[in-house]
Structure formats: C-alpha cells, structure tokens
A and B are shown apart, each in its own frame.
Chain A
Amino acid sequence: MTRSPDFRALTRRQLLTRASAVGASFVAGAGFIAAPDAAWAAETSHLEPSTFATLVQMARDIYPHDRIPDAYYVIAVKGYDSVEAAGRVEAGIAALNEAARGRGHGHYLDIGWERDRVDLLRSIEGSAFFQTVRSGLVTGLYNQKAVWPLFGYEGESFSHGGYIDRGFDDITWL
C-alpha cells in the first residue's frame, strides 16, 4: 500500500475527493442492505411460511421498536431461511409453539399481548435457540444502514466533510 509522500499537505477538499473514490468500494460491500419488502415474509425457500412468520414476531418481541416496520425484522432473520439453518429453526419454533400450547394458546402467534409472549420468551431465554436468534439480531437488525435514520443516527460523515459545519455543537436547549 503506497501513498503520495505529500499526503499531509493535501487540503480538506482533496481529501474529500479521494474519499468518495474509495467510498464506493465499501458501500457496496456492506452485508445487510436489501430493499425492504414485506412480501419476503411469504416467500420462504427452506422454512415453512408459518415458521418464518413466527420467527419474525419473535424477533420483534425480543427487540420491539414500534417505529420500525416488519420489513427490517424480516431482513434481520432472512438468513435463517437457508439449507443449513432450516432444521434448527423449525425445531426451535416448534418448541416455542409447544410452550405456547402449554400455556393454553394454539400457537405463539395466537398470543395476543406482547407481555404474554415476552413471558414465554423469558422462560426459554437460556436456550441455545433463543440466544442464537437474540445475538444474531444485535447486528442483523441494528447494523442495517436503512434503520439508522429511524433512530436518528446519521452514520458516516466523512463524505460530507464531517460535522464541523454541520451541527457538531448545535445544541440549543441546554
């Protein structure tokens, strides 16, 4: 990796130009970006559609954000709709439905109140299935660039020249 020796003499503008040239390569490399499309939920290739729908509800119950549409939860767990994962997920969701029946419900999805679904999830919190789904969501959900604006997080600012002229010290309510 080489670099012109006068690098440090470059102006801010020149640095920015270089950055946008470099930028393209890593934006394209980011993993989770896909067009949010709720129709995905129905189109499973390896999981039963009902299993996948239950998984999406479970994801929302673990990390509930009312301002975030289902589509992002769908993207977050879409990876489980694969040959390798399908068996474990079918078993995990079957166990979840079994636990729901144990509490007098038909299926997990039949439980009307989030509070009751969360109670059920608490009872299986220690299971490998729950922990896999939960920890996968930490990146699967929150590392989707498309959800960042919904939290007011602006992501990288280098390509815009930083926040030096864009509100790094704009607080007024203090």
Chain B
Amino acid sequence: MSAPFDLSDDSVVVIVGTGAGGGVLANELAQKGVSVVALEAGGRYLPEDYINDEWESFGQLAWTDARTTSGDWRVARDFPGLPTWIVKAVGGSTVHWAGASLRFQDHEWKAATTYGEVPGANLLDWPIDGAEMAPWYDLAEKKLGVTRTNGWPGLPGNNNFKVLEKGAKALGYTEVSTGRMAIMSHETGDRTMCQQTGFCFQGCKWGAKWSSAYTDIEQGEATGKLEVRTKCHAARILHDDSGKVTGVEYFDETGALQMQAARVVCVAGNSIESPRLLLNSASTMFPDGLANSSGQVGRNYMRHTTGSVYAVFEQPVHMYRGTTMAGIVQDEARHDPARGFVGGYELETLSIGLPFMAAFLDPGGWGREFTSALDGYANMAGLWIVGEDMPQEANRITLSPDVKDQFGLPAPNVHFDDHPNDIAMRNHAYAQGAAIYDAVGAVRTFPTPAYPSTHNLGTNRMSERPEDGVVNRHGQTHDIANLFVSDGSQFTTGAAENPTLTIVALAIRQAEYIRGAMARGEI
C-alpha cells in the first residue's frame, strides 16, 4: 500500500479507528479533498477473508486486548476479561454488526426533558435534535443502502422472523417487519444482494451488508487523499504549549513507537478505547487527560439494556438460516412510563450458532437443564432486546492501576452497575419476549443474559455546556478546538435504537464541519 503522507506532515487530519465513525469520516473528508491518515489497530480483512465459523472468526476479528471489569452487571461475572464484543480490524465493529439501521425517535434527543428527573441517572438533552439530523440521516441511509428507505424493498423474512411475526401479531403488536437493514435487498450492480447465508456477525462474505471496511475505506483510498495504516495502535495524543493537539504517537506493526504530526485529530476507537486514549494522554498541562475539564471523559458509559429470549418449539425452526437480525417489533420502543420505566426498547430477531449458543445461553450453566435446551437447537427461535439504558456518572472507563496491555499502556477498566430503570425494562422485555413465543406454542423459553457489550456508547458525551460533557454539537471537544470525537462515545443518551446509523450520520455531518472550519482557518 502506498504511504503518501510523511510522519512530519502536519497538514493532515489524523483519525484513530476506521469503524462506523472513523471509517465514514475518513472517506467523507477525503472526498472533500482533505488529507487524512487513519490509524487502525487491527489488520485488513475483506469478504473473501471472512470465516463462517463463530470461534475462528472471533479469533480473526475480535478485540481481545487486556481489559478488566467491575460492577454488578452479569458480564463482569461471566466474562470478566471481555466486557465487549467488538472488532479490531479495518472497518471496526461494522464488520461484525448485523445491519439494523434505525433513526432515533424525536423525543429521544431530549431524554432529560422528556423523562424528567430519574434518580441516579445523569440524563442530559442532546444539543441537537431530530429535525437538524434529518438531512444527515437521509445521507446515511443512502450511503448504507438501508432497506425500506429511498424506495428500496425490505428483506424477505426467514424462519426466525416468521415465528416472531406470528407471535407478535397474536399479542396484538402491529409494528412488526423485517426492519430497516443496511443489507442489499435487491441487485444494484454495486453490491451483491443478500444470499441469506447467516453469519452476518462474522463479516458478510457477499459484501451485501454495509461495512466501512470494503465501502467507505476503499472509496476514500481511491481519492489518493486517504492513507490507512493498519496494525498501528494509537498510544497518546500530543499537544503544544498553547493546548492545541499536534500529533499522535502510535505503535506500528513492528511495535516501534512512531509519531504522526497532525493539524486535526479525530478519535474514533469505540467507546472504551476513545476515552482511554484521552486519559492515557494526560500531561502536566492536562493532568486529568485531554479534553477533560468537565471530568466527564470516560463517564456515562452506556451499553443498551439487553438480553435475549430464546424459545424451543415442537418442530424445526432453523433460526440460523438467513440474516441474523431478520426482523423487529417496535411497539415497545415508545416512551410510556405506565410500564414502570422511562424510555423504550426494540425486539429484534437474533440467532447464534451452536458453538456460541453453548457459550452464551447461560454462561456457567451445566447439567440437563442446560443440555436439553441445546438439544432443542434446531427447534429454537430467538430475539434480542435493545433498550435505552440510563447514563450514570459512576458507570465509567478508568485506567487500571495495575493491568497493562501488550504495549505497556494502562488497560481500561469497565465499570457498570444496572440502574433500576434498566432492570425494570429488561424484565418487562423478557416477559414480552417470552409471551410472543408462548403465543405460537413455545415448549420452553429462556431469558438469556446479556452478551459482552456490542453497543458501547456515551463515554465522551455531547453537551451544550462545557461543564456537562466532553464535546459540542459537532463532536469537537469543548477544551481543544482541533481535537474531535467521531464515534459512539459522543452519545449524550443511547435511545432505544441500534446506534450505527446515528454514528454514521454524525460522522458525515462532522466531516462537513471540519472541512468548513479548516477552510475558515479556525482549526
């Protein structure tokens, strides 16, 4: 691969991470003629490299650097060293993701105002709203090829969806469909149509599902304005005496420490690594880490209220055939405190293969109660709960005082306690999920605990006032004009929807702002 930019070239924008946020931002800036160096900790894997085998694929793609956990969440007990299930590779977690692409509901931009005082929650309104984001969502849906937008058809429903649909309708739910997915439902000559192979989580070997790995990154590189440096792990962001950032120190593929100069730095390493990088960049001028005058860097970690419901039926379902997230029930996504909690949740079909089912159905479980469930694997249907969880100040990423990663950098500790609202919502969703399957004759249902976090949000949150959060309405840090946050860690609150469409819309919008601010000489 060509290396067009010199380490000392301080005219470039350096982006850390090439996932949903970083990958899109890199391409959007490159398309506008801005020079970009993207540092990506992982390697580059493309559709022909993806492996349709759960554990082998995990070995290929997963982020498994040293991490620690604390708090009362079950993940800390079941998977103490693996708080998240995300990707280290070009494309970031968009290689893993299922493709569900939903816009926030209007009221979710204003959670503090809508929900009122919730004890223990650090709720805040986003400084932006649905009307302001609408045109950016339009662009994001076009880019990702989202079904049921732009006149594109929905995907056909697989067996897992049909079970969900029948049960949900029997319960009186009406907002039931194969959803809005960043998966091609028709041939365009550009991306292959979904071939219903399953294994969406292991990387789509057809390229039918959008991932920045083989769309935005390649498009950006084709402009000659984007250089992606793989297996380069950003270690520290440097600044000058005026408090402006000047470059990024990173470990290259050989483990050697390099420094890339920069005019602007954008952090997009997902919601654990982004605050960790800011904290690891502490200096005498910024002893609490970069952009942390509010003390909010790393705080308000959100992961969506989740869990799964699997059900066994008398007859075969073969849920693993076809798209992993094949359909959705949206009736419970509304805000209706009469249910005993604020905010709402979506129910989305989910299937995992036998190897992951054995690991995740009831981590630590054994004996016939467990194995008889697996004996019913072919007759299983499943759904995943994704609901808004409450931001809490104490749920946070901190630097471990003793554990270090392979580079000798302090590892992140991920602390999470469930908020009572999260628990009430999850219990409601477990009951509704089981009722859906009972309505179509489930023999047994399983309220399955949360997996390591796939949606990681909120640890560098957006706020109107500098004292409430880390970044402003453009993802620009309140403290340092040429330092940006460009991933899901910007989220002020999490909403009920899967986050990626919003991350992408924010990245497109941020690119426009950065280009303008550079042209105006502001940064």
Contact = CB atoms under 8 A, between A and B. Distances in A.
Interface of A: 1, 3, 7-10, 12, 15, 18-19, 22, 26, 29-30, 62-65, 67, 118, 134, 138-139, 141-143, 148, 151-158, 161-164, 166-171, 173-174
Most buried by A among B197, B313, B358: B197
Contacts of A10: 192
Given A19-B48, A142-B354, A155 B375 contact: no
B200 to A, nearest CB: 11
A1 B53 contact: no
Given A152-B316, A155-B53, A161 B195 contact: yes
11 contacts: A15-B47, A19-B205, A134-B366, A142-B358, A154-B321, A162-B198, A163-B158, A163-B195, A163-B197, A169-B158, A170-B159
Given A12-B192, A22-B48, A148-B354, 11 more contacts: A1-B44, A7-B214, A8-B207, A9-B189, A12-B206, A19-B48, A152-B378, A153-B353, A153-B354, A163-B196, A164-B196
Contacts of A142: 354-355, 357-359, 374
Interface string B321-358: 11000000000000000000000000000000111011
Nearest to A15: B206
A8 B193 CA distance: 11
Contact of B198 (A22, A148, A151, A157): A157
A156 B378 contact: no
A169 B44 contact: no
Nearest to A66: B375
A139 B355 contact: yes
A15 to B, nearest CB: 6
B520 to A, nearest CB: 36
B436 interface: no
B55 interface: yes
A143 B318 contact: no
B127 to A, nearest CB: 38
A73 to B, nearest CB: 12
B46 interface: yes
Nearest to B190: A8
A161 B364 CA distance: 36
Contact of B166 (A67, A162, A174): A174
A15 B314 CA distance: 37
B519 to A, nearest CB: 31
Given A8-B190, A18-B48, A157-B321, A62 B366 contact: yes
Contacts of B156: 168-169
Contacts of A1: 44-46, 49
Contacts of B354: 142, 148, 151, 153
B8 interface: no
Given A143-B55, A163-B196, A163-B198, A154 B320 contact: yes
Interface in B153-205: 156-159, 162-163, 166, 189-192, 194-199, 205
A63 B359 CA distance: 12
Contacts of A143: 55, 355
Contacts of A161: 195
A65 B371 contact: yes
A162 B48 contact: no
A151 B162 contact: no
B321 A163 contact: yes
Given A26-B56, A142-B355, A142-B358, A164 B368 contact: no
A99 B52 CA distance: 43
Contacts of A12: 192, 195, 206
B137 interface: no
Contact of A63 (B189, B197, B364, B366): B366
Given A1-B44, A18-B48, A30-B56, A67 B375 contact: yes
Interface string B259-300: 000000000000000000000000000000000000000000
B317 interface: yes
Nearest to A125: B366
A118 B51 contact: no
Contacts of A19: 48, 205
Given A1-B46, A26-B56, A157-B52, A151 B374 contact: yes
